[in-house]
Chain A
């Protein structure tokens, strides 16, 4: 009773806030977002390896081709107006639009495009794998990616990959084909360790690109401001400015949104979203992302190396219960490693066959030879839902005698431990780079060399010390299959195997909830891009 009175009192106080909210408003010609910008360290497309940077730079730098926001498995033209593949499948040709222009008024040519892609490989940041895994090399890049005339970029492929796959994986995603101003880059290049940085130090804070916006201010962990590029070839962005404020607290973001101090809130937790759901001034846009949270089991640990033990864990996760409660607005339960929405993915039902089943789990660990259970440590991020999910799994595990000790840490530390194979069980996330089954399978199922000294830390499969030569072969075959129907079937086969035998237990596919004030219209949001320029007020 007291509780109810108290709750309604707070509710009443919150209602009181509405008249004030009417006074506050963001400037009409600016789109104001609240987000956690902690991870942001660079705007150089060649270097970006995190969500903030990708999201922002998408609105600053056009790539040659892009994903159709309505169906990401379709490729659409952007800076390139058309493309073609030679009959032998080894040459890919892009024709650029004639009206590409940098914010400084200079015309962008194929020369700029080729240079941008070459430096992408030459700089060798983590991102460069998006090209190097398709056979582009530092040594050969000058020949492999070339401007053959002012508006033509010619790509020589190492192997005849399926066109859809190579376009999606190498050119539409992850900043690889974004066009930077070569002149500015060369003028500002610094020599580091006897090698050019191709303008990295300069572009890091102010990339000069063909794109709807340009970055005019970036105060780390505070604010990023974009101004409209009036020389842009495409649809004129509806807001003149985009202001992204660093607000690392969900509750604070919600308050800002309710008060009308921001138009868009990007870091909201379930509780705040639930409260906003009933607010008429706000709508919530949910996007199912191509990323996962999963448990990684270190195979160099004798107990966890046993596939039966790992399968048992899948029955310790209450997929349904979590989906109904904790994961509301944040995730969709899914156990298969290929995200729903990607080419070649199992459908919703096939991709999530597990139910909480303690008896089954107990039987599996008994079969594995551990009827009395065992003790293991799990490392996890101290942020977001990880502590809740980890405690849920640990509590279920305890019921069948598996004792799991939790250790929370900062993300940077969690990644360091994972890359060094220094963990027993890790609760961690991974984002697929492109909407094709190949993206997850080539990193999570394929492991080219499992030796510790190989240090293939970019492969989660290596981090858990798991390797199957058969899967390696199957994945390579699927990658080279040019018939889409056959290729899809091959991926289904791999997923079926991984579902029960793989080294990871996938828990959920992440959802990106974005709360937007109703006054903001036509906002185009898709798993791989948020189009700031589309939003009007």
Chain B
């Protein structure tokens, strides 16, 4: 016995034994490179802080996010209220902390809905080609050529405002670019020998797509969705800004910013705090996504 095969060994093995191992290896080497880039690490750090904040919100801000007091409204930042108070006397820090939950929930759920949907449509269109491709890509074109925020706005207005519908609406605007990408990747893979081999073995198209094509597309889809995360956060904030995102009193950064709009000079912290929070969050996702792309983009090697 030459010792136990560690995960690291498996991940760095020169010869891979399965496509899954191959793609996981790519991710692993990517991580090694990512680790060496300070900007990307900064982005990862911000995201980590955000996640911790969201999870630990009740401990960080024990007062909750809706503790109103008309006598302490619009107070500037101080030791008692780090980020000041809003127009109903609520602590902005607490609202910011709880707001991270809303933002992360929206961003994650949109990713979880849009990525598989885009992947499904893209790989199906790419694999089958012909009229399936034509139909799916026309639908894709329709959604692509629709102004994103307007599409989201329309659907939220139709379905009713609120966080759940905002997620659906933003996801509707987020899937088409992913589908396009997945289709392009599929087109390059589907002619590959090993796919032909699997097909001869009698695998069903469904199985081929699920087991062999989707895993190959996954890395670039992950990069793409990370890069799009910033756009998703900004669209969601835009909806909140227009009053159609998470409903009050739930703290949502875009909506907080919209409230701050009417207090710009008198209470600058009202707009600045959530504005900076949105900026940093989307910046963090961009930093990570940008690096991930360099790392995982085969052309860059």
Contacts and interface: CB of A to CB of B under 8 A. Distances in A.
B161 A409 contact: yes
A249 interface: yes
Task: Report the contact-size class of chain B (Cβ under 8 Å from the partner).
Answer: 20 to 34
A408 B162 CA distance: 9
B270 to A, nearest CB: 9
B88 interface: yes
Contacts of B157: 409-410, 413
A424 B256 CA distance: 26
A183 interface: no
Interface string A397-416: 00000000111111001000
B274 interface: no
Interface string B230-245: 0000000000001110
A391 B267 contact: no
B70 A322 contact: yes
A366 to B, nearest CB: 24
Interface stretch (B28-36, B73-81, B210-218): B73-81
Nearest to B243: A382
A387 B70 contact: no
A318 B66 contact: no
Contacts of A6: 268
Interface stretch (B108-116, B257-265, B287-295): B257-265
Contacts of A3: 76-78, 84, 269
Nearest to B263: A271
B266 A274 contact: yes
Contacts of B78: 3
A387 B265 contact: no
A132 B160 CA distance: 36
Interface string B200-216: 00000000000000000
Given A251-B264, A326-B70, A395-B68, A407 B249 contact: no
A387 B87 CA distance: 11
B45 interface: no
Interface string A1-25: 0111011001000100000000000
Given A388-B87, A406-B247, A408-B248, A250 B70 contact: no
Given A406-B247, A407-B160, A409-B161, A251 B262 contact: yes
30 contacts: A2-B77, A3-B76, A3-B78, A3-B84, A4-B76, A6-B268, A7-B76, A251-B261, A251-B262, A271-B266, A272-B265, A274-B266, A275-B265, A321-B70, A322-B70, A325-B73, A326-B87, A382-B244, A383-B243, A387-B243, A387-B259, A388-B87, A391-B88, A391-B248, A391-B249, A392-B88, A407-B162, A409-B157, A409-B161, A410-B157
Interface in B112-158: 157
A423 to B, nearest CB: 12
A324 B70 contact: yes
A408 B244 contact: yes
Contacts, number: 88
Interface in A227-255: 249-251, 254
Nearest to B81: A3
Interface in A208-267: 249-251, 254
Contacts of B70: 318, 321-322, 324-326, 392
Nearest first, the 4 closest Cβ-Cβ pairs linking A and B are A382-B243, A271-B266, A3-B76, A3-B77
A527 B141 CA distance: 53
Interface string A408-442: 11100100000000000000000000000000000
Contacts of B259: 387-388
B102 to A, nearest CB: 15
A167 interface: no
Interface in B58-88: 66, 68, 70-71, 73, 76-78, 84, 87-88
Given A321-B70, A325-B70, A271 B244 contact: no
A324 B73 CA distance: 11
Given A3-B76, A325-B70, A395-B68, A390 B267 contact: no
B66 A395 contact: yes
A269 interface: yes
Given A14-B265, A406-B248, 8 more contacts: A271-B262, A271-B264, A271-B266, A325-B73, A326-B88, A406-B247, A406-B249, A409-B157
B193 to A, nearest CB: 57
A323 B243 CA distance: 25
A7 B76 CA distance: 9
Contacts of B160: 407
A439 B247 CA distance: 35
Contact of A408 (B84, B87, B247, B267): B247
Contacts of B84: 3
Nearest to B77: A3
Contacts of A270: 262
Contacts of A4: 76
A394 interface: yes
